[in-house]
Amino acid sequence: MLYLISALLTALICGPLFPGYLVYRDAVSVPQFSLSAAAFGIDGSAPRAVPQDAILGLASRVVDGGWVVALLTTAAVFGVGVGFGLLARRLVPQAGTAGAVVAAVVGIWNPFVAERLLQGHWSLLIGYATLGPIVLMVLNLARERAVQPILILVGLFAVAGFTPTGSILALAVAAVTAIAVRPGLRTTLLSGVGWVVTASPWLVASAVSDSAGSSGGASAFALRSESGLGSFGTALGLGGIWNADAVPGSRSSWWAAVATIVFLAVVAAGTFALLRERRESTGPVLALGLLAVTVVLLVTLASTGPGLSVMDALLAGVPGAGLLRDAQKYLALVAPFATIACAAGVGALRRLVPGGFAAAAVGLLIVAPLPDLAWGVGGQVRSIEIPADYAEVTEAIGDGGGTSVALWPTETVRNLSWTHGPSLSVLP
């Protein structure tokens, strides 16, 4: 049932991505991605998409790039549901299959996923999808000091490392879980070395980058308060991406407050149920809860005047601090506890009603307030066909032959007549 529900929700969201090319805001897929020096992080620029661009460049030599991006996005959304569902089954066994299904629904169907899709940050969802399985592997390491869980954990680090932010998310959730369950010094060191190895593409690229720190810019990427919620309430509801245009219609009015209150009511009921029960899993659950609270507070503080000043200072003086600028994306770290708490709420409700009814009721409370996540976030995130003119241009340019190529107009974000909204240019 967990896999079936995750697949259905994934199809409901990602169906419009097939076939064709996703060209919407930061998401740009083309038939074949360029294997440039920037893709490997060796051109001296900031490694914002390392090793993502290199992987896309290599994969699109085998499979059409449009299919690569669509399949990776679909796999990420499906992985989110299955990963958090399995985590709930492990840490909240009393909730049964009903709790696991609700955890999957909460992990997939939330403002964070909707807003990141609308911003074109499909690759961030790959790192998000690894969080549940990473917690599970660390729990396994505490139970059995074997090589296989370490290898699987390092493999998950590699998947999360598709983008630099994914690596940081993976390290944070693994470290917090390890502190709670103490898998042993040797195991921890081996896992830490594995993380460094998988993060080395962007770590090395950052070390050799010629890009200096940027001056200012923190306010443009700060958490954006939703109507009636303020910064703290917005962060609790997993919303608040900096770009007000990358927001589902249901989150741009007073309805966002209603949706957040419903979501927090379910989380609160589940949290109370978790605190009332004393189980072997209490330690890691509390650790994930503390992580969630800490992240919400830090993201909220980062949007205040003093927080913005600190962020600007970091951006100007600390190499690599640009990873912290869009602080709202770290609300992904709230999801592990939120999904577990919602599953626990179902477990408590099962004492009064059948499990299937409990899952349906709680699932409806999560899905109904955000109806426009369906079908590519209300049809906005969908594939297009790239005009044949672009193939002619790229064929004429070839590999450049050592010459410079100018793009006109010079703006980074375009409003092209053949796309569904603003996007980066496909030519680079």
Digit-coded pLDDT (tens) for 183-219 = 999 999 999 999 999 999 999 988 887 765 555 689 9
> What pLDDT score was predicted for residue 296?
98
Using DSSP's 3-state secondary structure scheme, residue 54 falls into helix
Question: CA dist 235 to 13, 130, 307, 369, Å?
Answer: 23, 21, 15, 17
Compute the distance between CA of residue 82 and CA of residue 129 in angstroms, rounded to an integer: 9
Task: State yes or no: cis peptide before 19, omega within 30 of 0.
Answer: yes
> What pLDDT score was predicted for residue 37?
87
Longest Cα–Cα distance of the chain, Å, equals 72
Residue 150 is inside which H or E element, if any? helix 147-160
> What pLDDT score was predicted for residue 146?
84
Length of the chain: 428
> What pLDDT score was predicted for residue 212?
52
Compute the distance between CA of residue 88 and CA of residue 195 in angstroms, rounded to an integer: 25
> What pLDDT score was predicted for residue 145?
79
> What pLDDT score was predicted for residue 397?
83
Compute the distance between CA of residue 317 and CA of residue 321 in angstroms, rounded to an integer: 8
Phi, psi values for residue 424, rounded to 5°: -70, 160
Phi, psi values for residue 385, rounded to 5°: -105, 130
- 273 closest CA partner among 348, 337, 338: 348
Side chain identity at residue 108, one-letter code = I
The structural domains of the chain, with segments of one domain joined by +, span 2-211+240-281+328-385
> What pLDDT score was predicted for residue 211?
64
The answer to whether the CB of 9 falls within 8 A of the CB of 374 is no
> What pLDDT score was predicted for residue 175?
98
- 35 closest CA partner among 5, 55, 62: 55
DSSP 317-354: HSTTGGGGTSGGGGGGGGHHHHHHHHHHHHHHHTTTS-
> What pLDDT score was predicted for residue 293?
98
- Residue stretches of the chain with pLDDT short of 70: 211-216, 280, 399-401
